[in-house]
Amino acid sequence: MIKSILVVCIGNICRSPMAAALFAKQLPGLNCRSAGIGALIGQPAAPYSIELMKQCDIDISDHRAQQLQSWLCDSSDLILVMDIEQKQHIEKQYPTTRGKLFRLGQFSQFDVFDPYKRPRDEFESCLRLIEQGVADWVRRIDSVN
């Protein structure tokens, strides 16, 4: 049974906060968190991420970036990353994540590109991929829970 999800990207200000917020909205009984491999610790979510989530009736304005740590990995039932390189990095740094670490785009075979410092339309494209990945995982989680 999956009770906690950790979503990871690089800086923890663009992609993972949006994905974690979407999971939290769609799976309200689960603990949904996010972190970054190279987090911009303490920084708020990117302005476009905040704006786009607001359009989804989700407020992430209180989000602050946090660094990925072993306790976050250990306390999560499912860890989702944005691309294969992040998956490989985390598996190497935290070997206990094997078996519960996957790409967000696992089922539709895609990586979620980083829109950091890019125009709004890039964030919108990124969000569409995140929404697809979240929808795929929500179906899978619902089937096992």
User: Which residues are identified as catalytic?
Assistant: 9, 15, 114
CB 31 within 8 A of CB 3: yes
H or E element in which residue 90 lies:
helix 84-93
Sheet holding 78-81, edge to edge: 31-36, 4-9, 78-81, 101-103
Smallest CA-to-CA distance from 78 within 102, 105, 110, 111 is with 102
The H or E element spanning position 33 is strand 31-36
Distance (Å, whole) CA 6 – CA 32: 6
For residue 5, the cross-strand partners are 32, 78
